[in-house]
């Protein structure tokens, strides 16, 4: 019994250490890569206007971009919706180290409570960030939670996507994750704010969901095309 207790304590200590150390390593590696790289913004006028006027918005980011989005949006005071999975524990630490907040939950566990917390944050005139196809996919399909949050809070959705001129792509991962290389150029593209009507029937809700999904896909394509153009120079 005592042996099992000691083993459990060791495992607990190891996990706590890893939850501290891995985000520490990730954050500093991201800062180093960011220091060696440059950034190009596309279509950022609208989001800069919202930030200047201190108005809330929901940054909508495909899961393929989840790794570097906290770095690219550091210190904006955004509440980030993060799953309650073990991987979410590490992302949570990274988000906080880059000067943002977290709301834990997903569509399968704690989702309703998490969305309510996200809406409360938005009502304080602070931004939020969501990966509408996370945490498990399918990739590039907007789930209803994003639309519901924007509908209830009456806060606009702003699509965001980054592509890099030098990057690894996790081809075997469901989200084809982007991992920037040193000395890259980040092409960060923003879409126009999308406002969701307060009242929608089922058909209207689905039409709006598809509108947001298509806007995000179009914004992603713009970022990819610009990165490809820069690679050829």
pTM (2 d.p.): 0.89
The pLDDT score that the predictor gives to residue 81 is 85
Domain boundaries, the chain: 2-231
The pLDDT score that the predictor gives to residue 109 is 43
Buried b (16+ CB within 10 A) or exposed e, 121-154: bbeeebbbbbbbbbbeeeebebbebbbbbbbbbe
The pLDDT score that the predictor gives to residue 1 is 53
Going residue by residue through the chain (233 aa), what tens digit of pLDDT does each one get?
A: 555 555 555 667 788 888 889 899 999 999 999 999 999 999 999 999 999 999 999 999 999 999 999 999 999 999 998 877 777 788 899 999 999 999 887 644 445 788 888 999 999 999 999 999 978 899 999 999 999 999 999 999 999 999 999 999 999 999 999 999 999 999 999 999 999 999 999 999 999 999 999 999 999 999 999 999 999 98
- Sequence-distant (6+) residues with CB within 8 A of 114 are 81, 103, 104, 105, 106
Dist CA 162 CA 116 (whole Å):
28
């Amino acid at each position: 019994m005592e042996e099992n207790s000691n083993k459990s304590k060791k495992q607990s200590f190891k996990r706590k250490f890893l939850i501290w150390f891995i985000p520490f390593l990730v954050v500093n590696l991201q800062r180093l890569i960011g220091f060696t790289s440059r950034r190009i913004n596309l279509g950022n006028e609208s989001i800069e206007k919202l930030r200047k006027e201190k108005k809330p918005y929901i940054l909508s980011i495909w899961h393929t971009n989840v790794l570097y989005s906290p770095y690219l949006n550091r210190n904006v005071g955004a509440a980030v919706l993060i799953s309650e999975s073990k991987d979410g524990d590490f992302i949570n630490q990274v988000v906080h180290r880059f000067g943002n907040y977290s709301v834990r939950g997903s569509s399968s566990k704690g989702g309703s409570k998490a969305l309510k917390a996200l809406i409360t944050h938005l009502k304080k005139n602070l931004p939020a960030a969501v990966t509408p196809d996370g945490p498990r996919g399918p990739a590039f399909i907007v789930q209803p939670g994003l639309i519901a949050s924007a509908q209830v809070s009456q806060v606009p959705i702003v699509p965001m996507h980054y592509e890099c001129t030098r990057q690894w792509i996790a081809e075997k991962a469901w989200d084809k994750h982007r991992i920037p290389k040193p000395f890259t150029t980040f092409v960060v593209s923003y879409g126009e704010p999308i406002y969701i009507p307060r009242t929608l029937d089922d058909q209207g809700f689905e039409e709006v969901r598809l509108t947001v999904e298509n806007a995000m896909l179009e914004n992603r394509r713009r970022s990819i095309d610009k990165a490809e153009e820069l690679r050829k120079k």
